[in-house]
Structure 1
Amino acid sequence: MFLHKIKSNGLAHLSYMIGSNGKAAIIDPRRDISAYMDLARKEDVRITHVFETHRNEDFISGAPAVRAATGARILHGPNRDTPIQYAETTREGDHFEIGSMRIEVLETPGHTYDSVSYVLYDTAFDNRAVGVFTGDALFIGDVGRTDFYPDQKREVSGLLFDSLQKLKTLGDQTIVYPAHGAGSVCGAGMADREFSTIGHERLNNDRFAMTDREAFIDAKVAENHYQPPYFEMMERLNTEGGAPTDRYLTPPPISPDSELLKGEAQIVDIRSETDFAAAHVPGSYCIPAGMLASFSGWFLDYDRDIVLVSDSAAQAQEAATTLARLGYDRVVGHHAGTVPMATSNQPLESIDLIDTDEVKARLSDRPTGWTLLDVRSIDEFKGGHIEGAEHAYAGRIPVDLPNLDRSGPITVMCGSGMRASIAASVLRREGFENVDVYYGSWKAWNSQG
């Protein structure tokens, strides 16, 4: 009997393979399935089942690709709006045998209407559950967001409360296997730790510990979450079924004078924010590699080619893999760094980075029309900000453009400078010429009292 966790960095997505006696099942697979195939060969098992905890909004499911490769059955919870076209519907009380393991289904709606949890039993020690795959209903340190149905906010929050009470009945010994870890857009307060039990969460997870249903609903309705535009594409593909991706994952190198750097392609610079500030291709997006999963879905079009500016071919390949998990299959090439462009006399631009002393000076003697723009989340902004700063979330900069003053200089800040650099690159693309970044941002401001 074995259990493997497969983590998709950037997305903070967690999928699992369990197996026993020559059979295996996968829970919430990602679109590139080679990791599961490799594990199946290593463990010498046949993948017979794929269990999906819900229709994901933040990445494309790999269930159809696994079935195409193995013939496995795909099980998905009941969707009251649109049935999942590639899956069988499973309901509470259903159970499945995987060698000496038994999987039982609990319907746990709230995050989505079709959310289910899969309870794991060892049939040789059958008294209580060993573990539970909770999807986005219960995380380590948090519970799922409930904002996907704006007209039914209180209803779905109440459903999630009821679902969490079901999970508590499994017993404190039950190990929790969520679909996401810290950094995911599907929750805000997740722990960095990716292992826990029902008992530990009852003691330490504030939302899970709540016993007053109405208070829980009030707390969930009051939460602030952002929904990137690409969520709509994920919902469609995870209803119809997405195609495999492996052939898209190695973008070829291009020359410094390539027409791809001058034409209609979307240029995404995945180097550090400081490298981008020093020199970048005019009109390119600054989205550092570690932020791709969080921010590319806010800005990139699915129907246009993408060119990456990276530190290396390996970094470009990893970025292309991340983008493919979000459905961006048109990564047509990469260029390593900007030095070769400079030596071949290709045009480059830069963005100034300013420090705390300069921000203090501007606050004391404000330049004409100057805006200090804080692009952190609204919760971060309300938790503390520089007096006089304006707020616009980094991902929503294109939507908030009409509210920004084009006539004067703009200094962009965030928590450290990374999101500010992303936002500054978008502003520059949109024709804002006098833009700089407060490097260190809120952390630097606080560190100096």
Structure 2
Amino acid sequence: MLLEKIKTPGLSHLSYLVASGGKAAVIDPRRDCECYLDMARANGVEITHIFETHRNEDLVSGAPILKALTGARVLHGPNAGGKVTYAEIATEGDEFDIGQLKIRVLETPGHTDDHLAFVLHDTAYPEGPVGVFTGDALFVGDVGRTDFYPDRKREVAGLLYDSLQKILALGDQVILYPAHGAGSVCGSGMAEREFSTLGHERANNPRLQFKSREAFIDFKVGENHYQPPYFRLMERLNLEGGEPAPRVLRPRRLTLKELDDVAADHLVDVREPLAYAAGHLRGAMNLPVDMIPAFAGWFIGEGERVALVASSEDQLKAAMTHLVRIGLDDVAGGYVGVVPAAAQGHDMRSVPMIGTDEVRQRLDAGDAGWTMLDVRDADERSESAIDGSMHIYVGELHTRYRELDPARHYTLMCASGMRATVAAGWLASRGFDTLDVYLGSMGAWKAGRG
């Protein structure tokens, strides 16, 4: 028997390949799916089945692409909100043989209506299941979000509760294989480790400690989650079936003149926040490579063209890979090197960084032309906030920037300064010239008051 976990950095997406007796199955494949073929071939097995736990909202599924490459059957749950054109419907109790392994279907709605869990049995040891692929229903340290059906909040939260009880009933010995790890937008409390058992989760997962179904529902209904606009694109593509990823996940190299002339909707600087703040091309927004999976889908729309600015070819490749995995394929090219552009007299901009003393002075002075803008999420702000600050979540600035006055002076803050620089970069690209970032942000504020 073979069981391999494939982690997609940035998205914190976890997919799996299981094999026995020369056959293999893939659970929740990503769009750039050659890795599963390479793994299967290296182990001398044939991919015969592809299982999807649900219609993903945060990445393009690789199931239709892998199906075309292998001829494997794709199995998906009922009630997907439309026809999943590339898949067969699997329902409660269906079983599939992979060598001496047997995969049994559990219907586990709640996160989404079509959600399935796949229970792994080893027929050589018939005492009970050995593992379960839980998708976005149960994570290590957390459970799935239930905010995708706003008109049915209590109903779907209750459905998730019932699904979790069904999963836990498999037995404490069962190994948990979730579809995401810490850092995913699909949950906020996941543990850093990506291994667990149902018994460990039953005893330690905070979301499994509620004394009643109603208490669980009340908690889930009260959660705060954000839905980037690109979620709607993912939902549609994962019904219709996404196109294969570009064969070369590296953008065309642009000269400075070509960068100036390229017709792009967004100029995206993917360098680290402090590098961007020190000097960047006019009109560029900042999406550091590691933050692209979380925030690109807020600011870049379907069909919009992107030109990239980076400090290295590796950064360009990583940035394009992240964009492709969430369906933002139209990358016009990439330019490497901001310092050479400055040396050639190119128009440059910077974002000043300020510290706690300066923030205190401005707050005490009550400057009528200045605003401290907090771009953390609602949960963070509810725990602690700076009196007198304004709040707009960083992702929501993609539209709500229109509520702000470009002539006003804004200081951006978050927990450390990273998201604040992304927010400042977006405002700068929209014509806001008087901006700075509170370096250290809430962390520095708390330390300075201690």
Amino acid corresponding to residue 68 of structure 1 in structure 2: A
Partners of 1:106 and 1:405 in 2: how far apart?
A: 52
The alignment status of 1:20 with 2:20, answered yes or no, reads yes
Task: State the secondary structure of the residue aligned to 1:258.
Answer: helix
In structure 2, do the counterparts of structure 1 residues 261 and 347 end up closer, same or farther at CA, with 3 Å as the change threshold?
Answer: farther
Is 1:200 paired with 2:200?
yes
Which whole-Å CA distance do the structure 2 matches of 1:233 and 1:80 have between them? 15
Asked whether the equivalents of residues 260 and 307 of structure 1 are also in contact (C-alpha less than 8 Å), the reply is: no
Partner amino acid, structure 1, of 2:412: V
The reply to whether residue 36 of structure 1 matches residue 47 of structure 2 is no
* Contact 1:368–1:408, Cα closer than 8 Å, also in 2: no
Structure 1 match to 2:302: 302
Indicate whether 1:270 and 2:270 are aligned.
yes
Determine the structure 1 residue equivalent to 2:77.
77
**Structure 2 gap segments, 5+ residues each:** none
Alpha carbons 2:22, 2:46 under 8 Å: kept: yes
Query: What is the CA distance between 1:247 and its match in structure 2?
Result: 1.9
Which string of whole-angstrom CA distances, capped at 9 and with x for unpartnered residues, describes residues 140-173 of structure 1? 1000000000001111000000000001110001
C-alpha distance after superposition, 1:306-335 (max 9, x if no partner): 111112111211111110010011112111
Counterpart of 2:294, as a letter, is S
What is the CA distance between 1:69 and its match in structure 2?
A: 0.6
Q: How many residue pairs end up in the alignment?
A: 449
The secondary structure found in structure 1 opposite 2:416 is coil
Residues 317-356 of structure 1: matches in 2 within 5 Å? 317-356=317-356
Identity of counterpart residues, as a percentage? 54
| Contact kept in structure 2, 1:20 and 1:101, CA below 8 Å | yes
Change (3 A) 1:301 1:260: farther
1:267 deviates by 1.1
Name the SS for the 1:247 alignment partner: coil
Partners of 2:167 and 2:232 lie apart in 1 by 29
The DSSP-based 3-state class of the residue aligned with 1:146 is coil
- Counterpart-to-counterpart distance in 2, 1:65 and 1:312: 30
Superposed displacement of residue 406, structure 1: 3.7
- Deviation of the 1:250 alpha carbon: 1.3
Q: Distance in 2 between matches of 1:247 and 1:411?
A: 42
Counterpart residue number, 1:257: 257
Q: Which digits, 9 at most, give the CA deviation of each residue in 1:109-128, with x for residues without a partner?
A: 00000000000011111212
Q: Which moved more, 1:279-288 or 1:109-118?
A: 279-288
Pairing 1:187–2:187 present: yes
Distance 1:408 1:265 in 2: 25
Q: Which amino acid aligns with 1:221?
A: V
Are 1:415 and 2:421 counterparts? no
How far apart, in 1, do the equivalents of 2:230 and 2:61 lie? Answer: 14
TM norm structure 2: 0.97
1:88-110 C-alpha deviation (Å, 9 max, x unpaired): 00001000000111100000000
Deviation at 1:259, TM superposition (A): 4.2
Instruction: Report the equivalent of 1:133.
Output: 133
Structure 2 partner of 1:404: 404
Shift of 1:301: 2.5
2:105 alignment partner in structure 1: 105
Aligned to 2:229: 229
How far apart are residue 278 of structure 1 and its match? 1.0
Q: Distance in 2 between matches of 1:154 and 1:336?
A: 50
Shift of 1:389: 1.0
Change (3 A) 1:167 1:246: same
Aligned-partner Cα distance in 2 for 1:80–1:342? 51
Distance 1:166 1:146 in 2: 17
8 Å contact from structure 1 (residues 248, 320) kept in 2: no
Report the Cα offset of residue 80 of structure 1.
5.4
Partners of 1:210 and 1:102 lie apart in 2 by 33
Asked if structure 2 preserves the Cα contact closer than 8 Å seen for 1:248 and 1:324, the reply is: no
In the other structure, the counterpart of 2:386 is: 386
Shift of 1:372: 0.4
2:358 maps to 358
What secondary structure sits across from 1:171 in the alignment?
coil
Offset, 1:7: 0.5
Uncovered stretches (5+) of structure 1, i.e. residues with no partner: none
The answer to whether 1:240 aligns with 2:220 is no
- Mean alpha-carbon deviation: is it higher for 392-401 or for 100-109? 392-401
- Kindly indicate whether the alpha-carbon contact (under 8 Å) linking 1:102 and 1:121 is maintained by their aligned counterparts in 2: yes
- Cα drift, residue 230 of structure 1: 0.4
Residue 361 of structure 1, CA deviation: 1.3
Deviation, 1:260, is 4.8
1:175-221 CA-to-partner distances (Å, cap 9, x unmatched) read 11000011111111111111101000011112123241111111100
> C-alpha separation between the residues in 2 aligned to 1:260 and 1:138?
48
TM-score using structure 1 length: 0.98
Supply the distance in 2 between the matched residues of 1:7 and 1:417 (Cα, whole angstroms): 27
Tell me the secondary structure at the aligned position of residue 119 of structure 1: strand
1:3 and 2:3 correspond: yes
Q: Secondary structure at the match of 1:426?
A: helix
Structure 1 CA distance for aligned equivalents of residues 260 and 164 of structure 2: 50
Equivalent residue for 1:86?
A: 86
Tell me the secondary structure at the aligned position of residue 368 of structure 2. coil
**SS of match in other structure, 2:322:** helix
